[in-house]
Structure formats: C-alpha cells, structure tokens
C-alpha cells in the first residue's frame, strides 16, 4: 500500500482533534503525519494511532515533502499558507471559508459532486458545516425530482464556534446553576439556557454570513443557479451536532413515501423516524457518528398540490460537517488519481 505524507493545519483546534481521530479510525494511509499550529502550541504532544507526535509551528516552510494538507486553522491562515503548500507540491483540502466561492476551486461533498475534484488546481474547498448537513440529505431527493426551493432553519451547536465556545457553555451552565454572574467572552451573548441568531456579520440583504454560505454553496455544488434557497441560522445551547428544519418545494408532486424510499438508500444518511416512540433525529445521537440523521419526513400541508416536503435532520458538524468530509475528499483524490493537479 502506498502511504501519503499528511499535514494538519490547526491540529490543536476542535476540528484538528477530530481529523486525527478519523484518520486513525479509517486507517488512512498516512506515512509522515505533520501537526501544525501556532507558535504558542508548538511542542504540544498529541497522540495518533498509539504514537506521540509533537506539534510544529506553522510556517511557510512547513510543507516540504507533504502530499496532502488538511487545513482547519482559519481563513486568514489558509490564505497565507495554502499557496506555499501548493507550490511545495501538496494538495490542500481547506476547511475554511477562504476559497469556497472561488471559481477556480472545487467545492466538494463526495456524496454530491466528487466529479468536481477532477479540475482542482491544488486546493479543494470543504463546504460550510450547515451546508453539508443539509445537502447530504437534500441532494438524493434533488436527483430523483428537481427541487425549486429550499427553506432551512438551523439549530447550531456551540462546537461550531470552536473548543473555547464549548468550554464557555460548560462554564456558563455551572455558573448559572450556582447563581453566579455570566460574562460571555467567546460568544456575544449568554448561551447557557439561551439561543440567539448566528453572530456572523449581517449583509445589506439582511442575511448573515452563515446563511449566505448555505445559499451560495448549495447553488455551486448542485450546479444550479436557479434553485432558490433561504436560511435562518441560530446558535443553541447544545454542545455538539447541528440540527436543521428543512422545507422543500419540488417542481412536481413528490410524496413522502418516495422520499423515504430515496433516503433509505442514500449514502451518508440514516433515517430515524419512529412516530410511535416520538423518536426522531437528536444531536445527542448524531454526535460522534458519520451519518446525517433524518426524520419527520412528511408532506407539507401548505402545498396542496403535493410539491412540498418537510424534514428534520441532525449531523455532527465536527465529523461530517468538517473533518470527515475533508478526509473523504482526500480518499477520493487518492482513489481516483486526482492528487496530480491540472
């Protein structure tokens, strides 16, 4: 078996830790594993497959001899360092927003558009976590019957804001139960026993950046500029795994029975839909697994012509919404011979 030298940018972050976990779980053919992070984190010891590896400071010279870079260190650092990785001969799978809408960079979810890997020029973008969780479920339905419009409301866990936000939820919960004062630091508002609109910047159209990502990224991956997408993104006091309420409008009648049949065979999707036990997708069950859970599959009664469908989904945004999708892209690059750039 051929092994590949892999570098992880942002190895000490929440996504970086899950990247290491999944590389080991999937027996990815790793030769050298180079863990890269800030100067502050250099020297920290992380474990991988029973071995201890020291974190190195991320520099422009960090990529010599590397085949694949898994980048999760933030958009500014990706913009700065990814070109150096590419010029060193590596292919970068970037988990930030830095390149997602670049026309020269494929935006890929392997269950949706793996063919777009064929035209990469050294960088492949990983979509936003909420986009992935939505579209892994929506895409197989779209293939069966074209969708005219998607309306999504998200319920996003604090892990989407990083490890420090997760700790803040823990800390605030303890403080509130002890009757202590809350002073938010990582998030703009109290998150324990509360929820609020996603705190990314609001554009002139009234949509925040997170919502705009879901709209634009879906159009790009589906290769459909005509599909209508609207999203409302909310941060909730859940530690891990995002949930989404999704309403679909098809171009012609499409039954919930047919949707159930399609989704039961869809890769990366697991149906949890037991009305008798009121058991439907929950973040506590989506956490730590690869599949996106889908349930509450029902006809939209506000669309009497049968063209509407409602769904409820939960997915681990650190796994399928980030680390797993990046590693699946790397696996496709290897399997399909796309490590050599165009």
**Residues in Cβ contact with 81 at an 8 Å cutoff, skipping those fewer than 6 apart:** 9, 58, 60, 62, 63, 71, 73
H/E run at residue 196:
strand 196-197
Note the Cα 192 to chain centre separation in Å. Answer: 23
DSSP-H helix ranges across 119-267: 129-144, 163-177, 209-222, 256-264
b (16+ CB within 10 A) / e for 122-136: bbbbbbbbbbbbbbb
Whether residue 129 lies in the annotated active site: yes
Return d(Cα 175, Cα 181) in angstroms, integer.
Answer: 7
- Give me the residue label for tokens 């974190």: 55
DSSP-H helix ranges across 26-162: 75-87, 129-144
Read off the tokens for 113. 């558009």
CB atoms within 10 A of CB 83: 14
From the candidates 129, 145, 189, 198, which is the catalytic residue? 129
**Residues in Cβ contact with 325 at an 8 Å cutoff, skipping those fewer than 6 apart:** 109, 110, 126, 127, 132
Return d(Cα 227, Cα 237) in angstroms, integer.
Answer: 32
Return d(Cα 141, Cα 92) in angstroms, integer.
Answer: 30
Distances in Å between the alpha carbon of 214 and those of 163, 178, 191? 23, 38, 23
The catalytic residue positions are: 129, 242
């Amino acid at each position: 078996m051929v092994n590949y030298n892999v570098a992880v940018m942002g190895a000490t972050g929440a996504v970086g830790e899950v990247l290491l976990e999944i590389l080991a779980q999937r027996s990815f053919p790793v030769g050298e594993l180079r863990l890269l992070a800030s100067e502050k984190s250099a020297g920290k010891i992380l474990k991988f497959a029973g071995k201890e590896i020291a974190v190195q400071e991320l520099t422009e010279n960090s990529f010599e001899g590397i085949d694949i870079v898994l980048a999760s260190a933030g958009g500014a650092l990706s913009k700065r360092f990814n070109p150096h990785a590419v010029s060193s001969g590596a292919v970068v799978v970037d988990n930030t927003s830095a390149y997602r809408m670049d026309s020269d960079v494929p935006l890929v979810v392997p269950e949706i558009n793996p063919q777009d890997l064929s035209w990469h020029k050294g960088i492949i973008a990983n979509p936003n976590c909420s986009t992935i969780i939505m579209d892994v479920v929506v895409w197989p339905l779209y293939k069966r019957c074209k969708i005219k419009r998607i309306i999504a409301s998200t319920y996003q866990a604090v892990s989407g804001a990083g490890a420090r936000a997760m700790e803040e939820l823990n800390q605030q919960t303890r403080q509130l139960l002890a009757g202590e004062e809350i002073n938010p630091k990582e998030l703009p508002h109290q998150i324990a026993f509360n929820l609020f609109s996603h705190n990314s910047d609001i554009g002139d159209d009234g949509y925040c950046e997170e919502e705009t990502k879901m709209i634009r990224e879906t159009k790009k991956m589906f290769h459909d500029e005509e599909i209508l997408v609207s999203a409302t993104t909310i941060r909730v006091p859940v530690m891990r795994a995002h949930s989404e309420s999704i309403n679909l409008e098809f171009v012609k009648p499409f039954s919930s029975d047919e949707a159930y049949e399609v989704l039961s065979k869809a890769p990366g999707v697991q149906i949890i839909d037991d009305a008798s036990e009121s058991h439907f997708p929950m973040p506590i069950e989506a956490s730590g697994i690869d599949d996106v859970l889908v349930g509450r599959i029902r006809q939209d009664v506000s669309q009497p012509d049968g063209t509407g469908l409602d769904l409820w989904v939960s997915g681990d945004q650190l796994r399928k919404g980030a680390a797993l999708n990046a590693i699946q892209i790397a696996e496709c690059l290897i399997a399909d011979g796309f490590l050599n750039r165009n």
